Amino acid sequence: VTGNDTAGMVAGMVASGVTAKGLNGIEAEANKLAKAPKGIDGVTEKAGNLAEDVGKAGKGLEGAAKGAESAAEDAGKVVESGTYSGDLMSAEEAARYSEYWRELGIGSDNTWKAFKDANPNGTIDDYFEIVQKQSPWPLGETGTPTTLKAGDRFFMAVENNAPENVIGGFGVKERIDSTDFVRNNLAVKYDWKTSCNVIREFEVNSGIELNVNAGPVGPQIDLGADLYLPGDTTMTQYDLFSNLGSGIKREDYVHIIDEYWVD
């Protein structure tokens, strides 16, 4: 079965279940849809339709493919009929979201396509994990405990109108040379920083050993700006203060030594 250019994300989710797990995969996908967060009107109905289609599908993958096709049609999307050959639809076709899901604010055509371009083996679950968790690290990774010692330096982008005493929670080892670097390499969403032209260089205070988490920069999905921000696994970012608890004075640990403007 191959989808046309209007095949929606619901069909993509069903297709991924069939391709990976056969008939049981569709049942699992139906249950996932039924229990989905933000389960507004229509989602559980489609899951119910999908479960009914599973019952009608028979035991073979050919029947499962027909169940997936039926679910896609129930979601308001047309899928062209053809011979099942192991993939129900291409990555491009599965990447196209329906207006229904866009209106929920949990995905978009542009960000899904960009995510798939950057992560050919990425799944719907991976995509939603990035949207929901907004982890600073790449999928499946966490920061590594590292100690910054007195005199160690790092860079940080701040809002253009940020007071001089503002110290953010994350820094990066590499010098920041552009706002494009901040948005894409450091994956800074627009609702985190509406502007990022001001860069500050910090140094760890004398007599201080700062226990941080360090690691590569993971991606973010900025639905407000409709952008996939890839991050950069060659960069080293520092989660500076989360190991210290609340109520600390960040200036007790680091201080600004330089500030400059980037375009």
Question: Which tens digits make up the pLDDT trace of 170-226?
Answer: 999 999 999 999 999 999 999 999 999 999 999 999 999 999 999 999 999 999 999
pLDDT for residue 206: 98
Domain spans of the chain, in order of start: 2-133, 144-261
Instruction: Express each pLDDT in 56-100 by its tens digit.
Output: 433 333 433 444 444 444 444 333 433 333 345 455 555 554 455
CA distances from 76 to 73, 94, 104 (A): 5, 14, 16
116 pLDDT more than 60: yes
The whole-model pTM stands at: 0.65
What's the rounded Cα separation, in Å, for the pair 133 and 128? Answer: 8
